Structure 1
Amino acid sequence: MTRPTSRAGVRHPLAAACLAALLAACTTTNDAAPAQTEPAADATETSDGPFSTTEIGQFNEPWAMTFLPDGRLLVTEKPGTLKLVWLGETAIATRMVDVAGVPEVDYGGQGGLGDVVLHPDFARNNTVYLSYAEAGEGDTRGGVVARGTLALTADGGTLSNLEVIWRQVPKVTGRGHYSHRIAFGPDGKLWISSGERQKFDPAQDMASNLGKIIRLNDDGSVPADNPFADQGDVAAQVWSLGHRNTLGLAFDAQGRLWNHEMGPAGGDELNLIERGENYGYPVVSNGDHYDGREIPDHDTRPEFNAPEITWSPVISPAGFVIYSGNRFTDWQGDGFIGGLSSKALVRVEFDGTSAREAERFDMGQRIREVEQGPAGDLWVLEDEREGSGGRLLRLSPPAASNAPVTE
C-alpha cells in the first residue's frame, strides 16, 4: 500500500501563576500529613540542542500532570496515586506527598489512574477532574471521568465530594485503549477522548461512546448544541467518531481542537477535529492490522476525514501541548507531542488547518506526557523505565536554564 504523508492554547485555560509565591510552610512536615516521598537532593541538568534538560523528580508509572495556581504540581501515577509536588525557586522538586481521597482504579495493562485537569474556574471552586479505569461486572472495565473538590493545605491535599460524571459505554473485556484524555476548551466545555478499547467496530457504532471524541458541560450533562444531541442516549455526547486510541487533545490559539491517536501497525495520526465528522477507523487507516491484514487507506474513502499528518513508522504519540509561552519564542503556536516507541519529543508546525512535523528531539526514553509550565518552560514525563521510575523533566532555553522560574 502507498503510505501518504499528508501534508495555541494549552489543555486547560488557566491563568499563569507565579511560582515564586510558593507557601513558606511548604518545607515543613506534619505527622498527620499524607504519605511523603523525598525527591533526590541533587538535580541533574544537561544541555543538548535547543534546550537544557533538568531532572525534577521520579515517579511510579506517571501518566499526566497539571500545575496548580500556587505553583505546586499534580502528577498522576497509573497504579492509583495522585502526587502533590512542591517546586523550589529553580523548579526542583523539594517535596512530594500523596493526595488523599483518590478513587480506587482498575490497574493493569493500559488501565489505571489517567488524566488530571483543573476546572477553568479552579481558583474559585477548587474542582479537579480525573480519568481512570473502572471495573465492571465479570471481567469487564471501562474508562470514567470524575470530578471532586481539592482542599489544599501547606502540608498536602485531599479530594472530597468525588462523583463520576461520565463512563465509557459499554464496559468490555481487555485492558487497552481507554484513551480518557480530558481537556477544557475555550467554550468552557469538557472534552474527553474515548478509545475503542481494541474492539474496532464500536468506533462506528452510535449506540456506544467508544472510539469517539466527547463534548460535555462541566457537570457531565450534554450540551444542547452537540451535533448528535437529537439522537439521545450516549450518541448525544459525541462530537466526532471513527477514532482509535487518542492520547492527546489540544486547542490552538484560534480555538480549533487537534488530536493525535495511535494507528495500528503504522498510521499514527494528527487530526483537526471538526463537528460531527467521521475519521474512519476501523474502515480506513493509513496502517494495517497487526496480523498483516490490510486496511484501506484514507484516500480510498473520501467521505471520511483524513489526518493532517500520518506517521509510518509510528511515533506512538502520548501527551500533547500547543505552545503559547515566551521562553521559546520561535516555537509559539507549535505543537509538542511525546513519543513512546519513538522515545522522542516531536515538534509540529501548523499553518491554519494543516500541519507538518518540523523537528524531532531524541529523548532516549519513552515520553508519556507534555505540558507547558506557568513560566513558559516545557515539562515532560517519561514513561516507566526499566529498574527505575519515570522522570519529570523541565526543558528550558540553555541560556536561561539556571535562572529562577518566575513570571
Structure 2
Amino acid sequence: MKYLSMVAARLGLTMALCVTIAGHVSAAEVVEKRIESEKHDFRIVKVAGGLHHPWAVTRLPDGRFLVTERRGKLALVDDGEVKYLGGTPEVSALGQGGLLDVALHPQYGDGEHDWIYLTYSKPGDGGTATALARARLGDGRLEKVEEIFVQDRFSSPGRHYGSRLAWRDDGTLLMTIGDRGVDRSRAQDITDHAGSVLRLTETGAAPEDNPFAGDKKGLAEIFSYGNRNIQGLVVAEDGRIWASEHAARTGDELNLIEPGVNYGWPRATRSKEYSRDEAIGAKTAPGTRDAVHYYEGRFAPSGLAYVNSAIFPNWQGNLLAGGLGSEKLLRIELDGDKVKATETLFAGKLGRIRDVYQAPDGYIYLLNDTSDGGLFRLEPAGR
C-alpha cells in the first residue's frame, strides 16, 4: 500500500513539538532531541504514555490511533489522551498471548469497508489458538464484531502466536501464526496452520489461487510454511513481502515470503538450543529457502516497516526493524531482493520495541513493550 505524506512543513521546538496533521494540532514531549545516523538525523517524541504492554498500532483517517494492549484492551489515542473501547473479543492473556495485531481495511473511510481487523489468542478446548476478527468503530466501543478465522488446532502453552497482519495490493490479507512453541515439527506440516503465513480474503476465507487451495494435502489458507514465529510483516511498494522471524537463540531471520515456499524451521536454521550450545537443525536443507538476512546476536525481532515517506527521503526503500531483547531499531537497506547494508539507528533508548509502523501521515511510530509503555514518533531533527 502506498502511503502519501500529509505534512508539508515541520516546526522544531526545544522542549515540545507541535505538528499540524490534516488540520489537527497535537503536542508531544521530546524524548531524544537529536540522534545522528548515516542518512538522517532524527528525534524521538512521545505521543502517548500509560499503555500496558502495547502490541500494535494503526492510525485512523481522522488522526487518532488504535493501540492494542496484550491484556485484551484496545486503546483509542486522541491528542495524547488514552481511552479504552468496549466490545473487544475475549482473549487469553497468559504468556505471550492476548490482543495482538490491529490493521484497517485498505479502503477504510469509504463507509462500506470501515472494518478494523484484530488478531488475538482465543481460549478454547485444549488451550488457545490464533484468531482473527473484524469490527466497526462505534461510540466508545467496537460494533458488529465478527470472528472470521480461527487456527485449526488449539494447543498450549501460551506462546508463539505470530499474529502480524499485512494487506497485499490484490486485496488479500496476510496473517502469521507461530509454531506454538512445543512441537517444532508442526511448522513443517502443511495440514496444520502453526508455523505459517496465511493468505485470506477480507472475510477470512482462503483465496482460490493459494498454493494449497484445492489440494487435499495441505490447508487452503497456507501461503508459506516452515516459519517459527513471525512478528514483523510488511508488503513493500514493489509488492515484495518481508518478514522478521524469531529463531530460538540467535539466528533471527529476515525472510522474503513467497507462495508455497518452505522456510525451513526447524530443519534448516542457524539457531541454537536455549539450554545448550547445540545447533537445532542444519544450516540449509533440501527443499527449503534460506533467509535473505540473519540478524546479529539475539535481536528478537518485532515490528517491521517499509519506508516510502517524503519526510524521510534518504530512508525511502529501506526497512525499519524493531528488536525486543536487543532494544534496537535497525535500518535495513535493500537492493532488490537482497540486503545491501544495515545500520543500528539506536539501542536501549526506549527499551523493548514491539511495533514499528509508517502511518499515512508519513511519520514512523514505535511502541515499547512494558507495563508503562508509550507510543513514540520519529521525526527529522530540527535544522
TM, length-normalised to structure 2? 0.89
Task: Output one character per residue of 1:145-189: Cα deviation in whole Å (capped at 9) or x when no partner.
Answer: 1011123xxxx5421111111112211010110011111111110
Aligned residue among 113, 120, 127 for 2:115: 127
* CA distance in 1: counterparts of 2:340 and 2:121, whole angstroms: 33
Return the offset for 1:357: 4.5
Partner SS state of residue 330, structure 1: helix
- Name stretches of at least 5 consecutive residues in structure 1 with no aligned partner: 1-8, 28-40, 88-92, 401-407
Aligned pairs (5 A) from 1:299-378: 299=284, 301-360=285-344, 361-364=346-349, 365-378=351-364
Amino acid at match of 1:354: K
Is the 1:267–1:313 Cα contact (8 Å) retained in structure 2?
A: yes
Return the offset for 1:237: 0.5
How many pairs were matched up?
Answer: 359
Task: Output one character per residue of 1:195-218: Cα deviation in whole Å (capped at 9) or x when no partner.
Answer: 010121110112211101100111
Return the offset for 1:327: 1.1
Answering whether residue 222 of structure 2 is matched by residue 231 of structure 1, we say: no
Amino acid at match of 2:70: K
Amino acid at match of 2:69: E
* CA distance in 2: counterparts of 1:374 and 1:256, whole angstroms: 19
Q: Which has the higher helix share?
A: 1
Q: 1:145 is matched with which residue? A: 132
Q: 2:65 is matched with which residue? A: 73
Label 1:14 to 1:233 Cα distance change in 2 as closer, same or farther (>3 A): farther
Partner SS state of residue 109, structure 2: helix
* CA distance in 1: counterparts of 2:171 and 2:282, whole angstroms: 35
Q: 1:90 is matched with which residue? A: none
Return the offset for 1:286: 0.7
Answering whether residue 45 of structure 2 is matched by residue 54 of structure 1, we say: yes
Answering whether residue 162 of structure 2 is matched by residue 184 of structure 1, we say: no
Partner SS state of residue 236, structure 1: coil
* CA distance in 2: counterparts of 1:200 and 1:180, whole angstroms: 17
Return the offset for 1:17: 6.0
**Aligned-CA RMSD value:** 2.1
Q: 1:166 is matched with which residue? A: 149
Answering whether residue 282 of structure 2 is matched by residue 297 of structure 1, we say: yes
Q: 1:108 is matched with which residue? A: 94
Return the offset for 1:233: 8.7
Amino acid at match of 2:104: L
Amino acid at match of 1:297: A
Amino acid at match of 1:283: R
Task: Output one character per residue of 1:212-233: Cα deviation in whole Å (capped at 9) or x when no partner.
Answer: 1100111011111111102259
* CA distance in 2: counterparts of 1:302 and 1:335, whole angstroms: 29
Task: Output one character per residue of 1:230-267: Cα deviation in whole Å (capped at 9) or x when no partner.
Answer: 22596111111100000011111110101110011111
Q: Taking every aligned residue pair, what percent have the same amino acid on both sides?
A: 36
Aligned pairs (5 A) from 1:229-268: 229-232=213-216, 235-268=219-252
Label 1:253 to 1:14 Cα distance change in 2 as closer, same or farther (>3 A): closer
Partner SS state of residue 197, structure 1: coil
Task: Output one character per residue of 1:35-56: Cα deviation in whole Å (capped at 9) or x when no partner.
Answer: xxxxxx9724422222111112
Is the 1:116–1:182 Cα contact (8 Å) retained in structure 2?
A: yes
Task: Output one character per residue of 1:286-326: Cα deviation in whole Å (capped at 9) or x when no partner.
Answer: 11222334223333x24210001112412100001000101
* CA distance in 2: counterparts of 1:286 and 1:356, whole angstroms: 20
* CA distance in 2: counterparts of 1:377 and 1:398, whole angstroms: 13
Return the offset for 1:142: 1.1
Aligned residue among 385, 391, 401 for 2:374: 391
Task: Output one character per residue of 1:318-356: Cα deviation in whole Å (capped at 9) or x when no partner.
Answer: 001000101111000100011111111011011111114
Q: 2:367 is matched with which residue? A: 381
Partner SS state of residue 214, structure 2: helix
Label 1:252 to 1:314 Cα distance change in 2 as closer, same or farther (>3 A): same
Q: 1:98 is matched with which residue? A: 84
Partner SS state of residue 266, structure 1: coil
* CA distance in 1: counterparts of 2:6 and 2:205, whole angstroms: 30
TM, length-normalised to structure 1? 0.84
Is the 2:245–2:252 Cα contact (8 Å) retained in structure 1?
A: yes
* CA distance in 2: counterparts of 1:234 and 1:113, whole angstroms: 28
Label 1:132 to 1:174 Cα distance change in 2 as closer, same or farther (>3 A): same
Label 1:23 to 1:327 Cα distance change in 2 as closer, same or farther (>3 A): closer
